[in-house]
Amino acid sequence: MAGKNHVFLIATLLSLLVSSVVAHGGKQVGVTYDERSLIINGKRELLFSGSIHYPRSTPDMWPELILKAKRGGLNVIQTYVFWNIHEPEQGKFNFEGPYDLVKFIKTIGENGMFATLRLGPFIQAEWNHGGLPYWLREIPGIIFRSDNAPFKHHMEKFVTKIIDMMKEEKLFASQGGPIILSQIENEYNTVQLAYKNLGVSYIQWAGNMALGLNTGVPWVMCKQKDAPGPVINTCNGRHCGDTFTGPNKPNKPSLWTENWTAQFRVFGDPPSQRSAEDTAFSVARWFSKNGSLVNYYMYHGGTNFDRTAASFVTTRYYDEAPLDEYGLQREPKWGHLKDLHRALNLCKKALLWGNPNVQKLSADVEARLYEQPGTKVCAAFLASNNSKEAETVKFRGQEYYLPARSISILPDCKTVVYNTMTVVSQHNSRNFVKSRKTNKLEWNMYSETIPAQLQVDSSLPKELYNLTKDKTDYVWFTTTINVDRRDMNERKRINPVLRVASLGHAMVAFVNGEFIGSAHGSQIEKSFVLQHSVDLKPGINFVTLLGTLVGLPDSGAYMEHRYAGPRGVSILGLNTGTLDLTSNGWGHQVGLSGETAKLFTKEGGGKVTWTKVQKAGPPVTWYKTHFDAPEGKSPVAVRMTGMNKGMIWINGKSIGRYWMTYVSPLGEPTQSEYHIPRSYLKPTDNLMVIFEEEEANPEKIEILTVNRDTICSYVTEYHPPSVKSWERKNNKFTPVVDNAKPAAHLKCPNQKKIIAVQFASFGDPSGTCGDYAVGTCHSPVSKQVVEEHCLGKTSCDIPINKGLFAGKKDDCPGISKTLAVQVKCSTKDPKRSAN
């Protein structure tokens, strides 16, 4: 024990030394911290961070995603490092194309932003196998994430390689680069008890191993109360301002590494939601309670291309983030958070240098203040914890109106510049538009050969993970049975039943080459039982099963001991009783013949004969078509109407799994549209290939363009003015307009112009963007006023002014007025566009 303590002390002192700020040419470079915040290059910082994962987008998207994040008020980009894409085979590395980690980090730095590097190397992230390469499972004696010599050896080897790469490119802040934080391990407290003492010693080893790599920036461990030495324990969750127990040492700052902007979705889920208002409330709460860094997980979720999604996770990832799957700004979430960041930056000096204080204003309202005694530096957060009713309170001699469960921010302890519940920023609605250039697709098909009798290589069906080794989703299983005529039931309507009990994930069954049926599990319960009646014949019968995986597990203890695939097979309803086929002798074929031939490529597709699709194709069939790139520059998607479950390739590149028949409780597919990156497309003659597991007809598939050109505003006369109405100049908080009042603010994306006012009502309208309705009170000149302010412009402001909409007469006295507006943006001439 004394030796371990000695090593720990050396690592701790070494980390403190290399994390210290050093002078380079008179300029301080590096990152340290105290109980208040990180100190970057000698300066305290409020840090607004967003997760953007480089392999969940394409390199051509990275600059725009990062720029949109910066325009949204962020100054940090956070990413995991994905071990299994970088080392898919032991000792063979890939850092090319979308896996070019160095290029991604450099792009962050080129945009004047900081970076957080979460090395894990276990990352979870709803990513296949939690980021761990499959080959790691086959290391003798290995136990993942434990004080286990084989695992620690390979973990340290990979982490060291990544750190060395970053150092070689001078990407750490201590070298003048953008990386200000690194993370080792990931939410280990959630599984630590399962490993008992080996869990305690492992996490101490992991922290000290990281400290010994001498990065010159602090290390963090998320959700890890016993983070060792100078490693900072951080919070993950939706409301860390209320749930975080705090740093485990008084000299560490409060950092929030994951503020979940929605919820990842799995096939079978309904849409997930988290409002902009709730997200903003959580962030304001965090900074009002001594927080100095928040990271939005995710800020852009992106796409789980190919087979990178974990078990049952959809191909679309965190689409409800401020930047949606396609990189488009989701409003009002993007704009409302941007306004919040501006409001918090107006409080920056008080938050980082002021003394905190809390005052109770009523039973449900408190004021949290940060003041510098003897100066005018003061910021206040008025927080209502009443979730049902608004309240008016008195603070420092003035009355303030607080909507239910909201926080108002006062950068000078007097002026409300922002309220978490009152959204001043615009709203928008996403549109999927059928491409004019690809409105008629001609489909051809090729049916996969269904194996009848593979060479028997095992008495039992083998396990799926071990067979596929993360190279494919598919394995064929075959066995034969000899049925005597006397075994058959002579009553016509009573057929034998094939029953297959499987540990997951899905299956398609055939008997004598005929499709029998399919079944699948779920993300919650992977196991399932397939049961379908079968037509057997006297003599030899061939049972063929196509076992299917929908991603490897990404979380939990002892991941190396998870299994999938058929575990019991039987025939019920024979005159001789139930026939158990589990130990009948089985043959196996890993992968589809079409995968081996690479039918998803132009070269591979030329090896077989395709036929024109006349009607629905049989199960396990390949389909292909050609199409030109859609018009314009908007993102592209394919809507998989008429299909069931399978995989899509564009010009030889997989864009992920699709699953249309696993519907949510609302009766709709969890995901219908699938992202086709523009960089995957040529101007003409693009090849789309689909492998479909069940009977389907591709003729209703559509190529779409995606936009958010429907923009809206919904502002009341009691909304605070836009936070852009104020600034802090020369340490003074001042208005930048003569008379700050509420207004509707609209701005088209990509320099488009407002070509039509689709809805306008000043009164008491209701609804949401894309679905507004006039209420009982409505100004008849609403649309005219909006058109005069906005038509033909890229952006416009509409004052919330009764005189503007009602003149001298108010037809609805006593009703609080709201302006709801919906407009359409386009590159077209507004005079030629219909309303």
Phi/psi region, residue 792 (left: phi>0; alpha: psi -120 to 50; beta: rest), is: left
Burial code (b: 16+ CB inside 10 Å, e: under 16) for 774-786 equals bbebbbeebbebb
Q: Return the C-alpha torsion angle 823, 829, 832, 834, nearest 10.
A: -10
Answer for the pair 113, 107: CB distance below 8 angstroms, yes or no.
no
Cβ-based burial of 485 (10 A; exposed 0-12, middle 13-18, buried ≥19): exposed
Give φ, ψ of 680 to 5 degrees.
-80, -10
Distance CA 709, CA 697 (A): 32
Cβ-based burial of 30 (10 A; exposed 0-12, middle 13-18, buried ≥19): buried
Q: Which residues pair with 172 in a beta bridge?
A: 179
User: Distances in Å between the alpha carbon of 637 and those of 127, 620, 629, 633, 676?
Assistant: 22, 24, 11, 12, 5
Distance CA 119, CA 79 (A): 9
Distance CA 48, CA 351 (A): 14
**Cα 444 to chain center, whole Å?**
34
Active-site entry in 185, 187, 560, 787: 187
Distance CA 637, CA 435 (A): 10
The SS3 of residue 615 is coil
Radius of gyration for the alpha carbons in the chain, expressed in angstroms and rounded: 30
Which position has the token pair 């389909």? Answer: 623
Distance CA 257, CA 235 (A): 6
Distance CA 267, CA 313 (A): 6
Cβ-based burial of 807 (10 A; exposed 0-12, middle 13-18, buried ≥19): exposed
Q: Is 442 a catalytic residue?
A: no
Distance CA 659, CA 643 (A): 8
**Nearby residues of 323 by Cβ (< 8 Å), 6 or more positions away:** 52, 65, 68, 69, 299, 300, 329, 330, 334
Q: Is 187 a catalytic residue?
A: yes
Q: What is the DSSP string of 338-392?
A: HHHHHHHHHTHHHHHHSEEEEEE-SSSEEEEEEE-TTSS-EEEEEEE--SS--EE
Give φ, ψ of 695 to 5 degrees.
-60, 135
Q: Which residues pair with 24 in a beta bridge?
A: 27
The SS3 of residue 403 is coil
**Nearby residues of 43 by Cβ (< 8 Å), 6 or more positions away:** none
Dihedral over Cα of 698, 703, 706, 712: its sign? negative
Distance CA 29, CA 169 (A): 16
Active-site entry in 45, 185, 258, 787: 258
Q: Which residues pair with 29 in a beta bridge?
A: 22
Query: Beta-strand (E) ranges in 1-125?
Result: 22-24, 27-29, 31-33, 38-40, 43-44, 47-52, 76-80, 114-120
One-letter amino acid at 826 equals S
**3-state SS of the chain: helix, strand, coil percent to 5?**
20, 35, 45
Q: How many CB atoms lie within 10 A of CB 70?
A: 16
Strands 47-52 and 291-300: parallel
Q: Which among 385, 368, 407 is positioned nearest to 277, based on CA atoms?
A: 407
Q: Which residues are catalytic?
A: 187, 258
